[in-house]
Structure 1
Amino acid sequence: MDAAPSAAHTPPLSQAYGYGIVVGLGFAFSLGMILTTWVLKRYQGEQQTSEMFSTAGRTVKSGLVSSAVVSSWTWAATLLQSSGVAYRYGVSGPFWYASGATVQILLFSTLAIELKRRAPNAHTFLEVIRARYGPTTHAVYIVFGLMTNILVTAMLLTGGSAVVSSLTGMHTVAGCFLLPLGVILYTLFGGIKATFLTDYVHTVVILVIIFIFAFTSYATSDILGSPSRVYDLLKEASALHPVAGNAQGSYLTMRSKEGIIFFVINIVGNFGTVFCDNGYYNKAIAAHPVSALPGYIMGGLSWFAIPWLCATTMGLAALATESFPSFPTYPSRMSSEDVTAGLVLPYAAVALLGSGGAIATLILIFMAVTSATSAELIAVSGIATYDIYQTYINPLASGRQLIWTAHSSVVLFGLLMASFSTGLYYAGISMGYLYLLMGVIVSSAVLPASLTLLWRRQNRAAATLSPILGLATSLVAWLATAKAQHGTLTVASTGANDPMLAGNVAALLSPLVYVPLLTLALGPDDYDWTSMRRIRRADDHDMLPTPDPEKLDAMRAAAVVEPAVEAAMVEEERRLLRASGIAKWTTVAMALAFLVLWPMPLYGSGV
């Protein structure tokens, strides 16, 4: 399963386009963020302290939260993998991808509210783990959190570099190193606020390009140009190469055996990459208390449209146009390696729009890769700064030491991931393989991590051991199924749907056995949540300017008004408690609609 395109074809663009867009846009965003940081400091007195770098002052409103959620959840895989499943399974593929990855964001909004309630001063979710269970459990979840960040970033870089290489001929290794370069720079200067501000721009650009593709495919293209023309070509494609497991072998049905298997893998894997990724907790922490719930719900519902429209357009367009000379692999079909590497979307764009489509795809993938990579860099810097450095190395760290650690970890993680992604490329492991694998590796931590905020009875042993036991169970299920079905363990055999299904399901569901078993066997906890509230904010006094005497007197006068402050805290707690109740009922109802009420009648009827 090679990450590089297997079909021999001439790239539609020169390498200059690849280097120009990857390096040029990266530095443009960096300069923009440097200017923004200077303006905020010059005219609003905003200091880039460790608190501001990691939490943006905890005052971000719902609009920016929702755009950040959409942008962070719009990976390269969102656009490339969703188009790939549309190419493989037909019209059902886009829905299986979009709905199977929307429910996690919706359900996570409940955890976001609980985090704001239980630990209002936390910088990372892992601080909450340590406050409740101690250093041993903390170490376990640091490992799972970092594994999540590594897998997600590797997926971003392998997918993005494969597309850049396919469209421009730029070497994949150059893409792996240059794609994160600009992201590292603007993240260093802007911190998490940089991710919120650039996420908004990225999301707008991504939506505009997807609309261009959609209108071209279904309205203006000389090759396609109308829904009826696409429908007719898909019927022809079904007759020429029917899909095994689809009703009548058709691309135009929701009844797809392999599609529903992917649906389950998609659901399980994405639980792991949301609930175990510190980046999503970072956004909840940065949000204003009343903005977390609407921000995540709006973001989740808005995000659904991106992979659904993109895949319904580009995945089906690839199927419809691959029999035309303008398709890059003509007269051959796309190989399995090309599809797994994420090349369905760029090939369809070239078939429809020529070099213009290639340029649009380059910009689209650059935006998707860099916005999500920025969130991963901030997530890792938070873990390195607050969960490792301040907790175990220098508990009395000053603000300057904390911000230095955050900056250093951003640079180091970016360079390490560029090197790791290069190794994956040479090992023949592509974005599609990593996408299916991620749930096997990290989803065993989803249930115990969630129960840390939702259930006071879970004890330390259950929280510590169930992710480890779940990981062991998932690895055994994954590899044993691959060995039993294929007789050998290779990238191809372990990347097949059935082994990945077994491993993903075992990872997510095995803690349903381990958590209650360990809790009952060793005695349930009776946690009172107070230790989470003792988490303190960082000491950044050494980085703040010394106030003049008049301002100092005003600050002292404000500090005396204790009753007003206490009343505000009580009111905030009341609003968060109300939001928590709304979140639980609303998100569960929405999840059932996306997973059962909408797709299952269509699947059962064979439509």
Structure 2
Amino acid sequence: MVVLSEGVGYFILLGVGLVMALAVTSLVRAETKWLGTRKTFEWFSTAGRTVKTGLIASSVVSAWTWAATLLQSSTVAYQFGISGPFWYAAGASIQVVLFAILALEVKRKAPSSHTFPEIIFARFGKNSHKVFLFFALMTNTIVTAMLVLGGAAVVNSLTGVDIYIAAFLIPVGVIIYTFFGGLKATFLAEYLNSVFLFAVVLVFISVIYFSNPQVGGISGMFDRLTEAAAIKPVDGNFAGSYLTMASTGALIFGIINIVGNFGTVFVDQAYWQRAIAAAPKSAFKGFLIGGLAWFAIPFALATALGLAAVAIHAPLMPEQISMGLVAPTAASQILGDVGAILLLTMLFTAVMSAGSAELVSVSSLITYDVYRTYIRPSATGRSLMRISRLSILFFGMGMGSLALVLLQVGASLQYVYLAMGVLIGSAVVPIALAVVWKKTNKVAATVGALIGLCCGLVVWLLTAYTLYGAISVHSTGQNIPLLAGNLTSILVGGAITLLGSVIKPENFDFRVMKQKILIVDAKIRRLVEDENDEEYLLRSSRFGYKVAVALTLVLVVAWPMPLYLSGYIFSQTVYSIWIGVAVLWAGAAAAAIILLPLIESRKGIVKVLQRIGYHVIDTRPGYRLSADDDRSDNNHYGDTGINRSAAYNRKILVPLDGSLQSLRALNSSTNLLANAGSVTATTTVYILNVIEWMDENDESVDDELAAIMEEQGKKMLRSILLPKSRSSVKYERIVKLGDPATKIIETAEKLGVDLIAMGTTGLGDAKEIGHVSSKVLRLASMPVVLIK
């Protein structure tokens, strides 16, 4: 079903990926340059632990919108009717809503943690840590492979690009911006992706329900679905109707979906990473809003595209259905090339942003739970940053290989998605109880996770063999074996953990977490200590349990079960209300996800725009006076752009490295302003010492090391004898770390100085003009005076 050219496919794979990478790295650079954020390793892996509600919510939406969300949800709509999208949405949103409780508990009990296996290590010890680290890495591996698998299949289907090439090209852009920007880059990419996701969702549902002649609007869709049920009744649905929640197949899928997705949220480090990165007052609200907003994507989009494929009798082979090609087929049939491009781009950006989340998660696990725990416990932030980036690079390059292995064995997107719960479901209850319940027994939790996995696998394979006479991809991919395996895995793991903890309860003191888990960056450590309001978090936790449990019961019991048990088939009026709810939910979710992060970040956005505006507008060339000019000629000073008679607050920046010429510049600083006009009462001379740091490109400096170096710089500045000057002149000392010329210019722009005065050479061996002075002279937007 190739509807687009290979050129379009390669453009999306390479062009869109690189554009997104450039946009995200530019945003990260703007934050570090204009808002003063320093990229320590703590910042790289936790985004400073200050991310607000809106960005957490958009991140959850984006990270949870996999290829499966966009593809598998439409597949079950095509197979089961309106019940399919509902069970997909409800069966995968309650986990995020319930995880909001764990996010709060992490902030209360382990605010300095970086990964959930790190919490397990602090509570249960080394052996248990290794077991749950295995589950964490397995989860990230499966999810990543599934992301690439789904993306490559759709690119191949719509454009004809070789599926193996697509699998290797998809990770390129992800690696670029994740490598340089870390978790904050992931958050920014996910916000951009969420905006695009909701925009495309609104476009599709608007066209399908309100303007497409093939479908005929809501009433036309209702009529066509009624006719389709008469021609080809849905097996297992009440009266074979597409317009009923009474669907045995959908209910089985819903149970598998619920069980499997508990594993892919509770055992996926990506969600713990967001909880850790969230500001204490944003953790619960961010996950709650994110979970409810995400519900709208599969619910609204799949109800539209999946049922539209039924209504227009889209030509689909069984293998195409299993590969998740229902949505792309419907999109291209209804909107032509535009629809195919929109869906392909939406899928690609979703794979990129979710893939980035998985990359950061894997790098955190390897860095903290392997390298710092077992190889080098005393590792500095610089060492951790290096290991983290190497992990991103190597795992990112291996993403395509994981998908290719699955393709070779014939495993489809649908197969991997439904089998996840068997493999990771047994760890859900042990992990959750380790965080929320002080009586959890470590042996019971660890043994429960392992035995649950083994039992789940045995039951899954045995059921497939018993029912179908063979163990193969086909037999193990059937609903009953998958249901049996998923339920066995999570129930056995949970039962052993609970039973063992009741028989031999522990009495763990969660305050130990704060002592055992250390934050390398002292600044972030102080921030965590200052902002964690224990009383607020305790109140929020009590409220959060009630809200999360209530919403869960509404979504999976109170709403669907009466409709299932009654066997009700929707009338046109009820169907119209159902679609109206989906459309309104999508609109409200879009508004919340798009606007809330902008509102919360408005001060930072305005600050960046103001600084950029200043940088663009204040570009007067001025006259840069060198030491070879006649300093006694006042006309030269007049040409520097300093207003000789204006009575405004004058500022001068004097970079000082201890060299003779820099000291001369300091001694001449007040004279420079005096010759330019009368010195006002608020004249300030800023004395800047820049400690050169050669690895400035990644700005990855240990906080403790930086503090030591800055203190040395301050001692040097305090030892300088300040020149005698009028009492109206005051001096301020500043120490910076990084590339000297860059920091001089950045400081001058930030302070809004009128003049930079510095030596022609510094401590180097330059004969004419030193490289730092030369670079400042070339790049500064304000006058520069060089003193010989």
Q: TM-score, normalised by structure 2?
A: 0.70
Q: Alignment partner for residue 514 of structure 2, among 533, 545, 548?
A: 533
> Helix, strand or coil: the match of 1:582?
helix
Contact between 1:80 and 1:345, CA under 8 Å: does it hold in 2? yes
Deviates more, 1:259-268 or 1:350-359: 350-359
Amino acid at match of 2:534: E
Confirm or deny that 1:594 pairs with 2:555: yes
Structure 2 residue aligned with 1:572: 533
> Helix, strand or coil: the match of 1:510?
helix
Contact between 1:119 and 1:535, CA under 8 Å: does it hold in 2? no
Structure 1 residue aligned with 2:400: 418
1:534-587 residue CA offsets vs partner (Å, 9 max, x unmatched): 14444358xx9xxxxxxxxxx9xxx9xxxx998x56x70111111110111110
Q: In the aligned structure 2, how far is the partner of 1:42 from the partner of 1:468?
A: 48
Q: Structure 1 residue 45: deviation in Å?
A: 2.5
Q: In the aligned structure 2, how far is the partner of 1:37 from the partner of 1:201?
A: 13
Confirm or deny that 1:77 pairs with 2:68: yes
Confirm or deny that 1:203 pairs with 2:194: yes
Q: Alignment partner for residue 234 of structure 2, among 234, 240, 243?
A: 243
Amino acid at match of 2:342: A
Structure 1 residue aligned with 2:377: 395
Q: Structure 1 residue 174: deviation in Å?
A: 1.1
> Helix, strand or coil: the match of 2:213?
coil
1:173-224 residue CA offsets vs partner (Å, 9 max, x unmatched): 1111111110111111111111111111101111111111111111111211
Contact between 2:118 and 2:517, CA under 8 Å: does it hold in 1? no
Structure 1 residue aligned with 2:167: 176
Structure 2 residue aligned with 1:221: 212
Amino acid at match of 1:531: V
Confirm or deny that 1:477 pairs with 2:459: yes
Amino acid at match of 1:414: G
Amino acid at match of 2:286: G
Contact between 1:59 and 1:286, CA under 8 Å: does it hold in 2? yes
Structure 2 residue aligned with 1:166: 157
Confirm or deny that 1:32 pairs with 2:23: yes
Confirm or deny that 1:301 pairs with 2:292: yes
Q: Structure 1 residue 232: deviation in Å?
A: 1.2
1:203-248 residue CA offsets vs partner (Å, 9 max, x unmatched): 1111111111111111111211311111111111111111111011
Greater fraction helix = 1
Contact between 1:91 and 1:316, CA under 8 Å: does it hold in 2? yes
Q: Alignment partner for residue 313 of structure 1, among 292, 304, 308?
A: 304
Contact between 2:62 and 2:194, CA under 8 Å: does it hold in 1? yes
Within 5 Å, which residues of 2 pair with 1:187-202?
187-202=178-193
Confirm or deny that 1:234 pairs with 2:215: no
Within 5 Å, which residues of 2 pair with 1:256-275?
256-275=247-266
Amino acid at match of 1:361: L
Max radius of gyration: which structure?
Answer: 2
Contact between 1:127 and 1:535, CA under 8 Å: does it hold in 2? no
Confirm or deny that 1:109 pairs with 2:90: no
Q: In the aligned structure 1, how far is the partner of 2:96 from the partner of 2:528?
A: 33
Q: In the aligned structure 2, how far is the partner of 1:137 from the partner of 1:265?
A: 27
1:73-116 residue CA offsets vs partner (Å, 9 max, x unmatched): 11110110000000000011110100011110000000000011
> Helix, strand or coil: the match of 2:360?
helix
Amino acid at match of 2:141: I
Structure 1 residue aligned with 2:340: 358
Within 5 Å, which residues of 2 pair with 1:2-13?
9=1, 11-13=2-4
Contact between 1:122 and 1:128, CA under 8 Å: does it hold in 2? yes
Q: Structure 1 residue 428: deviation in Å?
A: 1.1
Confirm or deny that 1:488 pairs with 2:470: yes
> Helix, strand or coil: the match of 1:527?
coil
Q: Alignment partner for residue 341 of structure 1, among 323, 343, 346?
A: 323
1:454-478 residue CA offsets vs partner (Å, 9 max, x unmatched): 1111112112111000001100111
Structure 2 residue aligned with 1:50: 41
Q: In the aligned structure 1, how far is the partner of 2:347 from the partner of 2:547?
A: 33
1:326-360 residue CA offsets vs partner (Å, 9 max, x unmatched): x4x3xxxx222111101000000111011111111
1:17-61 residue CA offsets vs partner (Å, 9 max, x unmatched): 111011111111221233223322222232222100111110001
Structure 1 residue aligned with 2:565: 604
> Helix, strand or coil: the match of 2:452?
helix
1:465-520 residue CA offsets vs partner (Å, 9 max, x unmatched): 11000001100111111011100011111000000000000111112321133335
Q: Alignment partner for residue 410 of structure 2, among 428, 445, 462?
A: 428
Structure 2 residue aligned with 1:458: 440
Contact between 1:50 and 1:538, CA under 8 Å: does it hold in 2? no
> Helix, strand or coil: the match of 2:242?
coil
> Helix, strand or coil: the match of 2:533?
helix
Confirm or deny that 1:468 pairs with 2:429: no
Within 5 Å, which residues of 2 pair with 1:107-186?
107-186=98-177
Unmatched tracts of structure 2, length 5 or more = 569-788
Q: In the aligned structure 2, how far is the partner of 1:462 from the partner of 1:369?
A: 37
Q: Structure 1 residue 256: deviation in Å?
A: 0.4
Q: In the aligned structure 2, how far is the partner of 1:277 from the partner of 1:312?
A: 28
Confirm or deny that 1:91 pairs with 2:82: yes
Contact between 1:74 and 1:372, CA under 8 Å: does it hold in 2? yes
1:363-415 residue CA offsets vs partner (Å, 9 max, x unmatched): 11012111111111111111011111011111111111100111111111112
Q: In the aligned structure 2, how far is the partner of 1:342 from the partner of 1:26?
A: 22
Q: In the aligned structure 1, how far is the partner of 2:388 from the partner of 2:537?
A: 30
Amino acid at match of 2:284: L
Contact between 1:399 and 1:538, CA under 8 Å: does it hold in 2? no
Q: Larger RCO: Structure 1 or Structure 2 (Cα < 8 Å, ≥ 6 residues apart)?
A: 1
Contact between 1:33 and 1:189, CA under 8 Å: does it hold in 2? no
Q: In the aligned structure 1, how far is the partner of 2:517 from the partner of 2:440?
A: 24
Greater fraction strand = 2
Contact between 1:400 and 1:540, CA under 8 Å: does it hold in 2? no
Q: In the aligned structure 1, how far is the partner of 2:348 from the partner of 2:152?
A: 9
Q: In the aligned structure 2, how far is the partner of 1:214 from the partner of 1:202?
A: 18
Aligned-residue RMSD, C-alpha? 1.7
Q: Alignment partner for residue 445 of structure 1, among 416, 427, 440?
A: 427
Q: Alignment partner for residue 51 of structure 2, among 33, 55, 60?
A: 60
Q: In the aligned structure 1, how far is the partner of 2:257 from the partner of 2:330?
A: 24
Contact between 1:112 and 1:292, CA under 8 Å: does it hold in 2? yes
Q: TM-score, normalised by structure 1?
A: 0.91
Amino acid at match of 2:200: I
Contact between 2:450 and 2:493, CA under 8 Å: does it hold in 1? no
Q: In the aligned structure 1, how far is the partner of 2:519 from the partner of 2:176?
A: 24
> Helix, strand or coil: the match of 2:233?
coil
Contact between 1:473 and 1:506, CA under 8 Å: does it hold in 2? yes
> Helix, strand or coil: the match of 2:505?
coil
Q: In the aligned structure 1, how far is the partner of 2:517 from the partner of 2:409?
A: 44
Number of residue pairs aligned between Structure 1 and Structure 2? 567
Instruction: Quote the sequence identity (%).
Output: 47
Confirm or deny that 1:284 pairs with 2:275: yes
Contact between 1:51 and 1:537, CA under 8 Å: does it hold in 2? no
Amino acid at match of 2:506: D
Contact between 1:82 and 1:97, CA under 8 Å: does it hold in 2? yes
Q: In the aligned structure 2, how far is the partner of 1:403 from the partner of 1:100?
A: 37
Amino acid at match of 2:379: A
1:412-468 residue CA offsets vs partner (Å, 9 max, x unmatched): 111222111111112211110010000000010000100001111111211211100
